[in-house]
Amino acid sequence: MRLAARYSLKWLIQAILLGLSAAFALIPFLSDLSSRADLITQFLLQGAAFTVAFALLAVFLRHWKFAGAHTLCLLVQIFHMQPPLIPNTAVASTQTVRLVFSNLWADNHQRAAAMHTLERLDADILVTAETVNGWREDLAAISDDFGAEADCFNLSGCDLVIHSRFPIVNTQTPAERWNRSRAVYAGIETPAGILGIIGAHMTRPIPVGQVHHQQKHAELLTSLASEIEGPLVLVGDFNAVTWGRVVRQIERDSGLSAHRGMEGTWPSAMPWPFRLPIDHIFTSDDVEIVSREVVNLPGSDHHAVMVELRLRSG
C-alpha cells in the first residue's frame, strides 16, 4: 500500500511539473490577447531553464513519457524565443560607430567603478538612463570628453542623456506630454552621415494595471520614430523582452528591427539565464549591427549593451 502511494505521489509530482512546462509553452500564444499572459511571457527564458531541469529529472527517474513531453514543451518554448537565437549581425566593417546604452541606476553606490567602466568602453555615442540623483554631476568629466549631448530633462520624470563625440545637429523630445514621456532624439553627424538616435526608458509593465501605460509609451516612441528620416537607432531600457508583445508592437508600428540576443541584462546580480533581456537596440534598414555585447556595469542593476554599427552605403 505504501509503495503504491509513493508511486502515485511521484507521478503526481511529475504531472505538476509537466503542467508548469506546458503553461510556459502555451501561455505565450495568448500574449497579444492578455496582459497577464504577456507578463508571464516575459519570463519564458527562465521557464525554459526549468523545463530543461524537469526533463532531466524525468530522465533520471526513467519516466520516459514525461521526459518526452517536457522536451516537446521545450521545443515550443524555443519556437517562441527563436529570433534571439540567431542575432541579425552584419559582416564586420572597419568604419563603425560604437554605441553604448547603460541604465546607470539612480541608487548606484559604485559610481567611481562604473565611471571607469564607461570610460574603458570608449563609446562614440553613450546613452544613459536614470541619469538622476547626482549622476549628471558625476558624468561631467565624461560629458566634456564627448563634447556634445542631448537630454529630455524638460519632460517630467525623464532621465535620459545622449552623449556624442560627433556633433549633434538637432534634438527633439516627444510632442505629446505626459508623466511617462521618457524619450529623447538626437541627430548626430557621423563621418558616414547623419545618424538618428532615440534614447528611451519605458515604463514597467507591473503591476498588471500599468500595462496600458507601457503600451502608450510604445505608441509615443513609434510616433517619434516615424517623424525621423534617414538612418535611425532606438536604444534603451524597454522593460520588455524581445519575444513579448511590446517589442513586437514597436517593430510593427515603427518599421525598426530589434537586434536580438539571449544575454539577459536585468537583474545584473542574477546569473544567466535568470536575467531578463530588456535593454535593446532597434535599427532601421539602413543601419547594420556589426557586433553586440552585454557588459557588466559596477553597481547598476542592469548590464550595459554595447554595439558596433555602421550606416549602409547607398
Tell me: do 108 and 54 sit in the same domain.
Answer: no
Find the CATH number of the domain harbouring 201.
Answer: 3.60.10.10
**Which residue has better confidence, 185 or 91?**
185
230 is a domain residue: yes
| pLDDT confidence bin for 84, thresholds 50/70/90 | low
C-alpha distances out from residue 160 to 6, 75, 136, 151, 217, Å: 58, 39, 10, 6, 15
Dihedral angle sign, alpha carbons of residues 54, 60, 64, 65: negative
Residue 2 pLDDT: 59
What range does the domain containing 69 cover? 2-85
Question: Edge-to-edge, what's the strand order for the sheet holding 168-172?
Answer: 168-172, 183-190, 193-201, 232-237, 279-283, 257-258
- Cell digits for 141? 568629466
147 and 54: one domain?
Answer: no
pLDDT at residue 119, rounded to an integer: 94
| C-alpha dist (Å) from residue 43 to 27, 38, 182, 276 | 11, 9, 24, 7
* Residue 161 pLDDT > 70: yes
Confidence of residue 145 (pLDDT cuts 50, 70, 90): confident
Global pTM reads 0.85
> Strand 125-129 to strand 97-103: parallel, antiparallel, or no bridges (unpaired)?
parallel
Instruction: Using alpha carbons, select from 206, 123, 223 the residue that is nearest to residue 172.
Output: 223
- Position 92 pLDDT exceeds 60: no
Is the confidence at residue 166, as pLDDT, over 80?
Answer: yes
Residues near 71 by beta carbon (within 8 Å), at least 6 away in sequence: 55
Half-sphere exposure of 309 (CA within 13 A, CB side): 30
Same domain, 30 and 133: no
Boundary of a domain, candidates 28, 57, 85: 85
Rounded Cα distance, 309 and 257, in Å: 14
Q: Is residue 92 part of a domain?
A: no
Q: What is the pLDDT of residue 299?
A: 97
Look at residue 122 and tell me if it is in a domain: yes
Structural domains of the chain, count: 2
Q: At what angle do helices 2-26 and 44-60 cross, to 10 degrees?
A: 150
At 23-53, the pLDDT tens digits run: 999 998 888 878 788 888 888 889 999 999 9
pLDDT, tens only, 181-215: 689 999 999 999 999 999 999 988 877 666 777 88
Share of the chain above pLDDT 90, in %: 58
| CA distances from residue 30 to 24, 49, 119, 244 in whole angstroms, order as listed | 11, 21, 43, 10
119 versus 210: the higher-pLDDT residue is 119
Structural domain contains residue 207: yes
Per-residue pLDDT for 94 more than 60?
no
Considering the domain architecture, whether residues 138 and 263 belong to the same structural domain is answered as yes
- Average pLDDT score over the chain: 88
The residue among 157 and 47 whose pLDDT is bigger is 47
Last residue of a domain, one of 29, 60, 85: 85
Residue 312 neighbours by CB under 8 Å, 6+ apart: 231, 285, 286, 287, 288
Of 85, 118, 144, the position where a domain reaches its end is 85
The whole-number pLDDT of residue 131 equals: 95
**157 falls in which pLDDT band (50, 70, 90)?**
confident
Cβ atoms of 239 and 182 within 8 Å: the answer is no
In the block, residue with C-alpha cell 509537466: 18
pLDDT, average across residues 132-143: 88
